[in-house]
Homo-oligomer: A and B are copies of this chain.
Amino acid sequence: MNSAGILIIDDEIQIRRLLEITLESHNHRVLSADSAREGLRMAAGHSPDLVILDLGLPDESGHLVLQRLREWYTKPVLILSVQSSEEDIVKALDNGANDYLVKPFRTGELLARVRSALRNAVAGPRKAVVNFNGLQVDLSARTVRKDHEMIRLTATEYSLLALFVRHEGMVLTHQYLLREVWGPGYINQSQYLRVFIAQLRKKIENDPNRPEYIITEPGVGYRFTSTE
């Protein structure tokens, strides 16, 4: 690990402290910035492996920072936000954020999200065959297996699953999913999503009532995870 480290952009000193201590205790190098300007400067200077960005900054909107960042920065960006601002979270995810955390958060969850984000970033060039304990998706053959059994998916079900697989660990918003699978004219048809998510779960989950692969993020979207 040549480790350019993790950059935290947050104005609250308590949060910065908590993040620094937690991350450093797990062998991450940590950089901190307490403003939008400072954050962008440090990101440009150090090219960190991951950025944790608070949406509520004093000098500039966090959305603006995210936008500027995404003009050149391709590694994961993790959003911090207060409970109330669900709308902000959706907007940030649609603007290229990889994941989000609601304040206050448990440090265990923080570390899990950071691990997942860093793991996916390393994956880089996608492999054609992807394995998630028991679920095997072959993106070039367009086939899906569950415990070596072939599973038959309709065109729509498959393109939904393929999206999830290609963005494992990330939260995908309703908007994004609808736009990618059905097209830009369908971003309000959330019911479509619910219907097809239910069908997918019925086909790939061990217990559709307690999904392990496709996790609901209420008010925001869905997330595909591998438990390993």
Verify A219–B141 contact, CB threshold 8 A.
no
Per-position binary interface string of chain A over residues 135-168, scored 1 when its CB falls under 8 Å from any chain B CB and 0 otherwise = 0000011110000000010110010000000000
List the B side residues contacting A155 at CB < 8 Å: 217-220
Cβ contact of A143, chosen from B140, B152, B158, B169, cutoff 8 A = B169
Per-position binary interface string of chain A over residues 166-202, scored 1 when its CB falls under 8 Å from any chain B CB and 0 otherwise = 0001110000000000000000000000000000000
Verify A169–B142 contact, CB threshold 8 A.
no
How many chain A residues sit at the interface, stated as a range, is 10 to 19
The docked-state distance in angstroms from the alpha carbon of A219 to that of B153 is 11
> Which chain B residue shows the least CB distance to A140?
B170
List the B side residues contacting A170 at CB < 8 Å: 140-143
List the B side residues contacting A218 at CB < 8 Å: 154-155
The docked-state distance in angstroms from the alpha carbon of A217 to that of B151 is 12
> Which chain B residue shows the least CB distance to A173?
B142
List the B side residues contacting A140 at CB < 8 Å: 170
A146 CB to closest chain B CB (Å) equals 16
List the B side residues contacting A220 at CB < 8 Å: 142, 155, 158
Verify A171–B141 contact, CB threshold 8 A.
yes
Verify B154–A169 contact, CB threshold 8 A.
no
The docked-state distance in angstroms from the alpha carbon of A114 to that of B219 is 39
> Which chain B residue shows the least CB distance to A171?
B142
The docked-state distance in angstroms from the alpha carbon of A222 to that of B218 is 26
List the B side residues contacting A141 at CB < 8 Å: 169-171
The docked-state distance in angstroms from the alpha carbon of A152 to that of B158 is 27
A171 CB to closest chain B CB (Å) equals 4
Q: List 11 A-B contacts (CB under 8 A).
A: A141-B170, A141-B171, A142-B170, A142-B217, A142-B220, A143-B171, A152-B217, A155-B218, A155-B219, A155-B220, A158-B220
